[in-house]
Structure 1
Amino acid sequence: MNKRHLLLALALLVLLGLLLLVSRPVAEPDQPAPAAPVTSSAPAAAPKIASLAGINGQALARRHLDIQRWETAEGARVLFVEARELPMFDLRLTFAAGSSQDGATPGLAMLTNAMLNEGIDGRDTTAIAAGFEGLGAQFGNGAYRDMAVASLRSLSAAEQREPALALFAQVVGAPNFPDAALARLKNQILAGLEQQKQNPGKLASIALFQQLYGAHPYAPPSDGTLESVPALDRAQLAAFHARAYAAGNAVIALVGDLSRSEAEAIATQLSASLPKGPALPAPPAPQAPAAARQHIEFPSQQTHLMLAQLGIERRDPDYAALYVGNQILGGGGFGSRLMEEVREKRGLTYGIYSGFTPMQVAGPFMINVQTRAELSEATLELVRALVRDFVAQGPSEEELKQVKRELAGSFPLTTASNADIVGQLAAIGFYDLPSTQLEDFMNQVQQLSVAQVREAMARHLDADAFVVVSSGPTVAQQPLPPPVERPAVQSAGVPEH
Structure 2
Amino acid sequence: MVKAFVDEENYTKAKFAIFDEINKFKYELVSKEELEKVKNNVLAGTIFSKESVSAQASSLASSYFMTGTLDFDDRYIRGIKNVRPEYIKRVAKKYLYNDNLSLLYMKPKKEKVEIASAESSFKKNDDVKRIVLDNGAVILLMEDHKLPMISANAGFLAGVRLENDKNNGISNLASEVLTLGTKRYSKDQIQKIVDNTGSDLSASSGNNTIFVSTKMLKDNFDKIWPLFVSVLSENNFKQKDYDNIKERTVAGIKQSMEDMNYRSDLLWRKKVFAGHAYSMPKSGTLESVESIDSTQVRDFIAKYIVPANMTLAIVGDFNIADMEKRVKDTIGNFKKVAFKKPANKKAEEIKGLKEYKDAMEGKRQSIVRFGFRGVDVLDDDKYVMNVMSSILSGLGSRLFENLRSKYSLAYSVYSFGFNGLDTGAYAFYIATVPEKKEFAIEKMWEEIERLKVEPVTDEELERAINKLTGGHAGSMQNTLGVAQELVLDDMYGIGYREAFEYTTKIQKITKKDIMRVAKKYLDKNACVITVVEP
**Which TM-score applies when normalising by structure 1?**
0.79
Q: Contact (CA 8 Å) 1:91, 1:255: kept in 2 or not?
A: yes
- Counterpart of 2:115? 60
For the residue of structure 2 that corresponds to 1:304, the secondary structure is: strand
Contact 1:174 1:274 in 2 (8 A): no
- Using the alignment, how far apart are the partners of 2:270 and 2:326 within structure 1? 41
Matched residue, 1:208:
268
Alignment of 1:74-113 (within 5 A): 74-103=135-164, 104-113=166-175
- The residue aligned with 1:413 is 474
Q: Partner of 1:51 in structure 2?
A: 11
Compared CA separation, residues 447 and 300, structure 1 to 2 (3 A): same
1:338 to 399, 407, 423: 399
User: Which residue number corresponds to residue 374 of structure 1?
Assistant: 435
Q: Residues 357 and 363 of structure 1 are in contact (CA less than 8 Å); yes or no, is this contact kept in structure 2?
A: yes
2:346 to 285, 309, 321: 285
**Distance (Å, rounded) in 2 between the aligned partners of 1:390 and 1:99:** 33
Q: Deviations over 1:308-341 (max 9, x none)?
A: 22211111022222211222133xx122221111
Q: CA RMSD in A?
A: 2.3
Indicate conservation of the 8 Å contact 1:252/1:267, yes or no.
Answer: no
1:167 aligns with 2:127: no
For residue 60 of structure 1, report the CA deviation from its aligned partner: 2.4
> Following the alignment from structure 2 to structure 1, what is the Cα–Cα distance between the partners of residues 332 and 231?
13
Whether 1:303 aligns to 2:366 is: yes
Corresponding residue of 2:22: none
Q: Map of 1:146-161 to 2, 5 A cutoff?
A: 146-157=208-219, 160-161=220-221
Closer, same or farther: CA 435–52 of 1 in aligned 2, 3 Å: farther
1:228 is aligned to 2:283: no
Distance 1:185 1:382 in 2: 44
CA contact (8 A) 2:168 2:283 kept: yes
Partner residue of 1:259 out of 275, 297, 319: 319
Is this contact kept in 1: 2:179–2:202, CA < 8 A? no
- Residues 284-304 of structure 1 show CA distances to partners (whole Å, capped at 9, x for unaligned) of 122222332111111211111
Contact 1:325 1:395 in 2 (8 A): no
Q: Is 1:428 aligned with 2:489?
A: yes
- Taking a change above 3 Å as real, the CA distance of residues 410 and 212 of structure 1, as seen in their structure-2 partners, is closer
Whether the 8 Å contact between 1:245 and 1:275 is mirrored in structure 2 is: no
Three-state SS of the structure 2 residue aligned to 1:466 is strand
Alignment partner, residue 205 of structure 2 = 143
- Deviation per CA, 1:345-365: give whole Å up to 9, x if none: 122223211111212122221
Aligned partner of residue 162 in structure 1, secondary structure:
helix
Over 3 Å counting, the alpha-carbon distance change for 1:279 and 1:391 in structure 2 is: farther
Deviations 1:117-156 (A, max 9, x none): 1222354322221122223321011101111101011222
Q: Deviations over 1:462-487 (max 9, x none)?
A: 244321211112xxxxxxxxxxxxxx
Contact 1:246 / 1:279 at 8 angstroms: preserved in 2? no
Amino acid at match of 2:383: A
**Cross-structure match for 1:318:** 381
Instruction: Please name the residue that 1:18 is paired with.
Output: none
1:409, CA displacement in angstroms? 4.0
CA distance in 2 between counterparts of 1:434 and 1:280 reads 17
* Offset at residue 282 of structure 1 (A): 4.5
DSSP 3-state at the match of 1:391: helix
Provide the residue aligned with 1:402 in structure 2: 463
Larger Rg computed on CA atoms = 1
Unaligned runs of 5+ in 1: 1-47, 474-497
Q: Indicate if the aligned counterparts of 1:100 and 1:283 stay in contact, CA closer than 8 A.
A: no
Residue 422 of structure 1, CA deviation? 1.7
Alpha-carbon offset, residue 271 of structure 1: 4.9
Q: Structure 2: how far apart are the matches of 1:289 and 1:67?
A: 41
String of CA shifts for 1:89-130, please: whole Å, max 9, x gaps: 000001111121123311111101111112223543222211
**Could you tell me how far 1:185 is from its partner in structure 2?**
1.0
Gap change, CA 1:118 and 1:391, over 3 Å in 2: same
1:186–1:230 Cα contact (<8 Å) kept: yes
Q: Verify the 8 A CA contact 2:372 2:521 in the aligned structure 1.
A: no
Of 250, 253, 271, the match for 1:193 = 253
Distance 1:410 1:223, change over 3 A: closer
Equivalent pairs counted in the alignment come to 420
Q: CA deviation at 1:196?
A: 2.2
Contact 2:390 2:468 in 1 (8 A): no
What CA distance in whole angstroms lies between the structure 2 residues aligned with 1:117 and 1:408?
A: 35
Alpha-carbon offset, residue 405 of structure 1: 3.6
Other structure's SS at 1:315 match: coil
The separation in 2 between residues aligned to 1:367 and 1:150, in whole angstroms, is 32
Q: Give the 3 Å change call, closer, same or farther, for CA 282–341 of structure 1 in structure 2.
A: farther
Percent sequence identity over aligned pairs:
21
Greater helix percent: which structure? 2
CA distance 1:67–1:177, change in 2 (3 Å):
same
2:504 to 427, 436, 443: 443
User: Runs of 5+ in structure 2 lacking a partner?
Assistant: 1-7, 15-106, 108-112
